[in-house]
Amino acid sequence: MDSGPRQYRRVLDYLNEMIQLCRSRHRLDLVIEYQEAWEEAALAIYGKLPARLERQTYQPSPQQTKPVKTASRVEMFSKPLRKIIGRMGEYELLECGHQIWQPQEFLFEGVNHKRRRCGECAKAKQQAKKPPSAATEKLGRKEGTA
C-alpha cells in the first residue's frame, strides 16, 4: 500500500518505537497512551479498515481435520514399533528377533533411531488373523495370541 505520504508513516514508526521503549521500561501507562495515539494516527492516515468477512469463523468439519487414510499410511501404521537392540553393518536387530536392512545413506546424521516399524511382525500378525489352519505353519516361537 502506498497511500499516505511517507512522513505520515514515519509518525507511526515513531509511535511504535515509543511503545517498544515504554514497554521495555515497564511503563504500561505510557504504552497504552502511545498505543491509543498510534490507533488515532493510523485511522487518520489510512482510514477505517474494511469490515470483517462473515466467513471469518469458519470451522472445518471433523471429516476435514482427520488425517487422510492413504494406503501407504494404513500400511505404515499396521507395522508395530519395535526397539532396536543391535546393529550389524547395515542391518538393525529388533527386539522381536527380526532384522531390518537400513542402508547407511538413508540415515540422517545426528538422528539416532531407537525404534523401527517391523514389517515382518505385521506380516505375522496378518497371517494370525487368517483362519487357524493357515496360521499354524511355522510359528514355533511364543508370540502371544494377538
**Applying CB under 5 A, which part among 4-12, 69-77, 83-91, 110-118 lies near Zn ion?**
110-118
Strands (E) located in 6-114: 81-88, 91-94, 99-101
Pick one of 15, 18, 22, 121: the residue that binds Zn ion (CB under 5 A).
121
Cβ at position 100, least distance to Zn ion in Å = 8
The residue among 11 and 122 lying less far from Zn ion, judged by its C-beta, is 122
The conformational region for residue 89 under phi > 0 = left, psi -120 to 50 = alpha, else beta, is left
| C-alpha triplet 27, 32, 35: angle, nearest 5° | 120
Q: Which of residues 96, 100, 122, 135 is near Zn ion by CB under 5 A?
A: 96
The stretch among 6-14, 28-36, 88-96, 105-113 that binds Zn ion (CB under 5 A) is: 88-96
Does residue number 120 form part of the binding site for Zn ion (CB under 5 A)?
yes
**Cβ neighbour number for residue 18 with a 10 Å cutoff:** 18
| Contact status: 92 vs Zn ion (CB under 5 A) | no
The answer to whether 88 and 52 have CB atoms below 8 angstroms apart is: no
CB of 80 to Zn ion, least distance (A): 7
